[in-house]
Amino acid sequence: MVKKTFRKCFVFGLITVIASYQGNVGVALASTVICEKETDLRVPDEVSLTKSSEKIVGESKGIALEKGAEAGEKLLQIDSDEQYVEAVSEVLEKYYQQSVITSQLDKFTDMVKPCAEGVVKDYREAYEERMESDSLSYDPKKVILQFRNDISDSSIQEAMEVISDGGELVSEAEIDSDLPAYKRDRIMKAKESRTNYKLAIADLSLAQSTDRAIEAYKKLDGVQSVERDQIMEFPSDDGMEAKSVIPNKKMLVKSAISDERMSARSAISNDPRVSEQWNLIQTNTAGAWNLLNSYTKPHYQIWVAVIDTGVDMNHEDLQGQLLENYSVDIAKEGHPLLTSVTPQYTSEHGTHVAGIIAAKANNSIGVAGVAGIPDSVNDTLMSCRVMAIKITQEDNSYTLSDLYDAIYYATDKGAEIINLSLGGVPNSSSLRSAIDYAYKAGVTVVAAAGNKNMTYPYYPSDFDHVISVISTDINGKKSPTSNYEKKDISAPGVDILSTIPGNKYDYMSGTSMATPFVAGVVALMKKADYSLKPDDMDAIIKDTAYDVGAPGYDPETAYGVVDPYHAVQRALSRYK
């Protein structure tokens, strides 16, 4: 039980010993310098209670809930201050594990010696903070840590066990052995050449307030940052505009994008409601499909991770499009598969986003997704499939730690693209590191610019290595609520028809809808040339965009509206 003494009372100062050794780390990329040494974080030796002290503690815990004063008096039999403090900590643990704290606790604490007053204070502060959790903007039970990359994994786990109640080393999840070799190889290169920090999420003990935990972890020489686990709302006005209302449901597709390069539009598909999908018609998405249909190079399965509010796994237009064995609820312990959750969780927001990307085309049902076409060689393979990752709680809130966890999960499970139709999160160094890791693994991250009609920095879309998406209307104009300035690309985001739960379809608007359109185009490009890296995607998307504003880059529409046909054409042209 030394962990409790150490973390709750700080009897010992945290001792950091640098112990280096030669590592046998393989060089994955010749241009990357890889750390060859790892450092261990040493913590004080455990303090073991004597048998007599253990017996006294057991007797005290046995009567603590009913006879607090007597329980406190029993501990006075322990002579060693060090063991006494540990004994008090164990009994306090018994009290604070209860859902209701009784008056016996006060009677117990009235009996403690001065050397244990610190641990009593720690428990009270942590308890009071947790009781206020409904009004807090963060989760009082966790903190997010970044360790230096040269700190050994075992040492990080040990530090979390000693200082807190354990935790998860998110950045070191194992690669799934069932993944295709081309996905495993890509991810392994990122892991072997990783230069960003190691990300961990610590579970705080009952004696730790977030302030106390942050103070303790900052004493570790190998910790680069400690952050509270912020709670965000999802979806909010930062993630989606109000649902659109289109009375006749049969809009007239008229567009400012009508010059010769867009005039030869291809027929879309046999899906009955495709005529209402102005976003596909106007941008000549079917032209991009036709280019891929003539493509005979090696074909790969492209996976798009939709980190969102969950997806209706039973929707008729998404059957065969969802990666059931990789679609999980990150917010629940153990990350259960969405197909195993009872009752089935469904969400309008996440289902709508997934449909924009991958609703099955030419199946005579509903609508078509940007990348919802069959593989031109093997029609049992789709151009892309969706990995649905739910990060929200029942109240549609989510924590930054679940967002980080989802990004690492998507990357390590083989996604080539991550769609983030969310935003308004803090400028977090931990989130930046998670995105950097995805980038190094060859994952293209696409994120919503937000719906505040503002120009201030907006995260995660404004991080480096993220394609930031502005929403435009049918006339190629920035939608009234879309954030803008210093973004990357525009895409259709007003009155977008897509899937919603229960085999239904509806219109929604916002940068949440524009973002998956771009993610779908990136999936088509990756299908055309799997060797394309995130920087290549970013450059091609910008260079081939249809310029709808002032010539060149402009704040309201960035480099222009994404052009699926010419983006895919450019991707294919890399083959000579």
β-pair partners for 226: 145
HEC sequence for 9-57: HCCCCCCCCCCCEECCCCCCCCCCCCCCEEECCCCCCCCCCCHHHHHHH
CA distance 236 to 448: 12
Helix, coil or strand: residue 489? strand
Angle subtended at Cα 488 by Cα 485 and Cα 490, rounded to the nearest 5 degrees: 90
In this structure, what token pair is assigned to residue 574?
Answer: 């890399």
In this structure, what token pair is assigned to residue 434?
Answer: 């998670």
Reported as type and span, the H/E element at residue 280 is helix 278-282
User: Please, are residues 318 and 535 in contact by the beta-carbon 8 Å criterion?
Assistant: no
Q: How buried is 342 (Cβ within 10 angstroms: 0-12 exposed, 13-18 middle, 19+ buried)?
A: exposed
Q: How buried is 253 (Cβ within 10 angstroms: 0-12 exposed, 13-18 middle, 19+ buried)?
A: middle
Catalytic residues, by residue number, are 308, 349, 512
β-pair partners for 382: 374
* Phi, psi dihedrals of residue 147, rounded to the nearest 5°: -100, 150
Residue 495 identity = D
User: Please, are residues 42 and 19 in contact by the beta-carbon 8 Å criterion?
Assistant: yes
Q: Which residue has the tokens 């929403």?
A: 471
Q: What separation in angstroms does the CA of 376 have from each of 269, 294, 323?
A: 15, 7, 20
| H-state helical runs in 64-197 | 68-75, 81-96, 104-109, 117-131, 153-163, 181-192
Angle subtended at Cα 239 by Cα 549 and Cα 400, rounded to the nearest 5 degrees: 125
Q: What separation in angstroms does the CA of 369 have from each of 46, 267, 363?
A: 58, 14, 11
In this structure, what token pair is assigned to residue 173?
Answer: 């999840």
Instruction: Give long-range contacts, CB 8 A cutoff, 24+ apart: 175-182.
Output: 175/412, 176/412, 176/413, 176/414, 179/413, 179/414, 180/300, 180/301, 180/414, 182/300, 182/530
